[in-house]
Amino acid sequence: MSLKQHVPWTQSPLIINAPMGGHAGGDLAIAVTRAGGLGQIGAVYDMNELASHLAKVEQSLPRHDDLLPVGVGLLPFVLKLDEALPVLERYRPAVVWLFAAKELEDYAVCAERIRSVTPMSQIWIQVGSVAAAVSIAELCKPDVMCVQGIDAGGHGFEKGAGIISLLPEVADALTVAGHGGIPLVASGGITDGRGAAAAFALGAQGVVMGTRFLSAPETQLHPAYRKAILAARDGGQNTVRAKLFDELRGPNIWPLPYDGRSIVTESYTEHAGGAGIEEIRRLHAEGLKAEDGGYGLDGKGRTAMWAGTGVGLVKREQPAAEIVEEVRRQVVEMLDKARSRL
Ligand X SMILES: Cc1cc2nc3c(=O)[nH]c(=O)nc-3n(C[C@H](O)[C@H](O)[C@H](O)COP(=O)(O)O)c2cc1C
Those residues whose C-beta lies under 8 Å from the C-beta of residue 21, and which sit 6 or more positions away, are 42, 43, 44, 73, 75
CB of 94 to ligand X, least distance (A): 16
Residue with smaller CB distance to ligand X, 142 or 210: 210
Q: How far apart are CA 187 and CA 342, in angstroms?
A: 26
* Phi, psi angle pair for 316, to nearest 5°: -150, 155
Q: 132-135 — which CB contacts under 8 Å span 24+ positions?
A: 132/104, 132/157, 133/170, 133/173, 133/174, 134/173, 134/174, 134/177, 134/179, 135/104
With CB under 6 A as the contact rule, the residue among 13, 188, 206, 301 that binds ligand X is: 188
With CB under 6 A as the contact rule, the residue among 13, 73, 93, 296 that binds ligand X is: 73
- 1: Cα separation from own chain's centroid: 24
Q: Is 20 in the site for ligand X (CB under 6 A)?
A: yes
Q: Is 128 in the site for ligand X (CB under 6 A)?
A: no
> First vs last Cα of the chain: how many Å apart?
34
Q: Is 153 in the site for ligand X (CB under 6 A)?
A: yes
Q: How far apart are CA 255 and CA 342, in angstroms?
A: 44
* Phi, psi angle pair for 260, to nearest 5°: -145, 150
Q: How far apart are CA 22 and CA 42, in angstroms?
A: 6
Q: Is 21 in the site for ligand X (CB under 6 A)?
A: yes
CB of 72 to ligand X, least distance (A): 10
Query: Which amino acid is it at 189?
Result: G
CB of 178 to ligand X, least distance (A): 26
Q: Is 323 in the site for ligand X (CB under 6 A)?
A: no
Residue with smaller CB distance to ligand X, 322 or 336: 322
Binding piece for ligand X, criterion CB under 6 A, among 29-37, 63-71, 148-156, 247-255: 148-156
Sequential DSSP letters for 72-86: EEE-TTT--HHHHHH
CB of 174 to ligand X, least distance (A): 19
Q: Is 144 in the site for ligand X (CB under 6 A)?
A: no
Binding piece for ligand X, criterion CB under 6 A, among 1-9, 13-21, 226-234, 321-329: 13-21
- 194: Cα separation from own chain's centroid: 19
With CB under 6 A as the contact rule, the residue among 33, 118, 129, 148 that binds ligand X is: 148
Q: Is 154 in the site for ligand X (CB under 6 A)?
A: yes
Q: Is 211 in the site for ligand X (CB under 6 A)?
A: yes
CB of 166 to ligand X, least distance (A): 12
Binding piece for ligand X, criterion CB under 6 A, among 29-37, 103-111, 132-140, 202-210: 202-210
Those residues whose C-beta lies under 8 Å from the C-beta of residue 159, and which sit 6 or more positions away, are 129, 257
Residue with smaller CB distance to ligand X, 33 or 126: 126
Q: Is 209 in the site for ligand X (CB under 6 A)?
A: yes
CB of 208 to ligand X, least distance (A): 6
Alpha-helix residue ranges (DSSP H) falling in the chain = 3-6, 26-34, 47-60, 81-91, 104-117, 130-140, 163-176, 193-202, 223-231, 235-238, 266-272, 277-289, 320-340
Q: Is 308 in the site for ligand X (CB under 6 A)?
A: yes
Per-residue binding letters, 87-116, with ligand X (x by CB under 6 A): ------------x-----------------
Q: Is 310 in the site for ligand X (CB under 6 A)?
A: yes
Contact positions vs ligand X (CB under 6 A) = 18-21, 23, 42, 73, 75, 99, 126, 148, 151-154, 187-190, 208-211, 306-308, 310
